[in-house]
Structure 1
Amino acid sequence: MTAPAGRERCSRLLALGDSITVGVGDTVGPDAEYGPGWAAHLATVLGMEAFTNLASNGARSHDVARTQLDAALALRPRVATVLVGGNDVLRSDFDARLTLTDLHRSVSELVRGGADVVLVRLPVIGLFELSPRLVRHVMRRRVAAINAAVDEVAVAVGAAEASAPGPGNGPKSARGRVVVVDATQAIASAGAKAWHVDRVHPSPAGHRRLALAAATALADLDPAYLAALVPPSENGAVSPASTARKATQFSPAEVGTGTPRAAALAALLPEAPDPPSVWQRVVWLLRAGLPWCLRRGRDFLPGLLRAVVHDLRAERAFTPGGMLTSFADSGLDPRRRIGRG
């Protein structure tokens, strides 16, 4: 693998997670060095020497912690991305406390291994935004519970690493850090075009915007990443080379507040295809969408019905909008934290 002209490369980016990180919903051409998916695009933007995608379709948080993590630690990545929880919220045995435990183990071990970790908050699942109010409410709360776990893990791991002594785990400088990226905010600028036809995964535009948000977050975390993201020209200004071909895809407001950096970042992304036509969407729905709903529904619907009933009972038992109500069916009690009973 060779580096694009004028850009220095760093080492390895490694991706853990589920089908979103696999790249479902994305489409790429021959200019996509590492293939489809937001994490692959992030590796391209950062100029990584190598990219390894350990994510798998259908993976849940325990799959990341018990299977993907061991392979990740053996590869000693410079940067690791973790986006998981979408399949957890779609299952009848959903328990956000278990996701919290799995995330904490995965992120803390990656950080101790020296990786900077991009931890991603789940987006609202577009498919369920089209559902009846009670279903939509339950799914939003489940996603919110996962995101509460993401935030708690980021704080807990950051605090633990800040207070950890150097001997035993290596010097503090050898340890990584954690940055959180909100997927909903990252893809919001694309509107309805942010979603794949299944309304569960990001579209090509959504994947690219998530990659840009992660790249910007890493650059804000460490100026060293900025040198790889936006190479300066000879006079010290941001080089305009190759930015023109992406100018029609992203405006500065869509990819960040710094106009030069935003344009330079967008220029490094592979080209995105045109969105599918209405006819293509209908064909996909008949061939893939409905069969998927039937397969998943056998497990998911009973749990969803129980969650809706639980939600109705919770609204009667607690003040609407209160903390306990909002976490009633999530399994994540806000009064319990990592390391407590």
Structure 2
Amino acid sequence: MPDETEIPQPATLLPFRSYVALGDSFTEGLNDPGPDGGYAGWADRLARLLAEGRPKLDSGHYDFRYANLAVRGRLLDQIVAEQVPQVRRMEPDLVSFCAGGNDIIRPGSDPDLVAERFEAAAVRLRESAGRVLIFTGFDTRDTPVLKHLRGKIATYNAHLRAIADRNDLAVADAWALRSVRDRRAWSEDRLHLAPEGHQRIALLAARALGVRTAEDPEAPWPPAAVLSATEAARENLQWAREYLVPWVGRRLRGESSGDHVEPKRPDLAPL
């Protein structure tokens, strides 16, 4: 008869025992409140999914370690300088690398040049990590102001897919994820995901890694009320005052929302 004190083990053992997340506010998890008073986000949610596919140890922790080095506002070169070198020290089984979005939305940026720098960093990561996961950018066609950058984002995405093919990277295709086109996937600032949006990205990332999930990232949303043209215009004006103008102002002043912010999980630690 089995020992009644034995810790239940997962039916399907996942190969990832360690995971490091690199990036900016998207990966830090902004606007997804966590249980500790900070932010959770899709990377934390993905880490939990991966951990649950590993055995539990006598300590009660999963046989899985996770670090999140992402900091809001970071540009690609900052991520490469501050975060990428840490991967060589940690040598994780999996690293997610999402960078370049803050570069692309800046006036005068060249997605071709950003992609070249991204690939150089991805090659470095492949030398120190068992698997590298990247993300395409979101389709911004329904987002005020950012919809005018859709062509640049699409160009960058094309580069990212080619980079993934050349370097054997896993790709979570956020551009193709139709469910996050729904307004409810986004927080009030329309720049960062809401909790449900983060959950759908976590599921998308898991599936890109070949991990089965009970939930579907493309599950339909419940019916929503339709705003009139007047209500939509009023909502857009309020959003511009509360979020767009301060965001533009920070860029004009050369400030970043990530100034003086430290990574929330700087070292590989058990869940």
Output the TM-score relative to the length of structure 2.
0.69
1:13 aligned onto 2:19: yes
Task: Find the counterpart in structure 2 of residue 142 from structure 1.
Answer: 152
Structure with more relative contact order (C-alpha pairs < 8 Å, separation 6 or more): 2
Letter of the 1:145 counterpart = T
Q: Distance in 1 between matches of 2:78 and 2:219?
A: 32
Distance 1:16 1:187, change over 3 A: farther
Q: Give deviations 1:173-229, integer Å, cap 9, x for gaps.
A: xxxxx111111333625611111211112211111101101101111xxxxxx4xx6
How big is the shift at 1:286? 5.6
Partner SS, residue 118 of structure 2: helix
1:151 aligned onto 2:169: no
Q: Distance in 1 between matches of 2:180 and 2:71?
A: 27
Q: Distance in 1 between matches of 2:217 and 2:203?
A: 12
Q: Give deviations 1:205-254, integer Å, cap 9, x for gaps.
A: 111101101101111xxxxxx4xx67xxxxxxxxxxxx7xxxxxx5x473
1:130 aligned onto 2:144: yes
Q: Distance in 2 between matches of 1:206 and 1:24?
A: 11
Distance 1:284 1:140, change over 3 A: closer
Is the helix fraction higher in 1 or 2?
1
Distance 1:199 1:97, change over 3 A: same
Letter of the 1:56 counterpart = V
Distance 1:70 1:136, change over 3 A: same
Letter of the 2:147 counterpart = R
How big is the shift at 1:123? 0.4
Distance 1:282 1:44, change over 3 A: farther
Q: Map of 1:57-136 to 2, 5 A cutoff?
A: 57-125=72-140, 129-131=143-145, 136=147
CA contact (8 A) 2:138 2:174 kept: yes
How big is the shift at 1:119? 0.8
Partner SS, residue 52 of structure 1: strand
1:36 aligned onto 2:47: no
Task: Find the counterpart in structure 1 of residue 246 from structure 2.
Answer: 291
Q: Distance in 2 between matches of 1:93 and 1:5?
A: 55
Distance 1:37 1:253, change over 3 A: closer
Q: Map of 1:311-322 to 2, 5 A cutoff?
A: none
Output the TM-score relative to the length of structure 1.
0.56
Q: Distance in 1 between matches of 2:171 and 2:201?
A: 12
CA contact (8 A) 2:30 2:39 kept: no
Give 2:206's match in structure 1, choosing from 211, 215, 221. 215
Letter of the 2:164 counterpart = A
Larger CA Rg, structure 1 vs 2: 1
How big is the shift at 1:154? 0.8
Aligned pairs, how many? 221
Letter of the 2:46 counterpart = L
Give 1:254's match in structure 2, choosing from 213, 218, 224. 218
Letter of the 2:125 counterpart = L
Q: Give deviations 1:128-169, integer Å, cap 9, x for gaps.
A: 7324xxx734x00111121122112112213xxxxxxxxxxx
Q: Give deviations 1:78-104, integer Å, cap 9, x for gaps.
A: 111111222112223412233212221
Q: Distance in 2 between matches of 1:37 and 1:187?
A: 19
Partner SS, residue 183 of structure 1: coil
Letter of the 1:52 counterpart = A
Letter of the 2:85 counterpart = D
Distance 1:113 1:25, change over 3 A: same
CA contact (8 A) 1:154 1:179 kept: yes
Q: Distance in 1 between matches of 2:181 and 2:140?
A: 15
Letter of the 2:70 counterpart = A
Q: Give deviations 1:282-306, integer Å, cap 9, x for gaps.
A: 998766554223223567xxxxxxx
Task: Find the counterpart in structure 1 of residue 4 from structure 2.
Answer: none
Task: Give 5+ residue unaligned stretches, structure 2.
Answer: 1-6, 52-62, 221-231, 255-271
Letter of the 1:147 counterpart = N
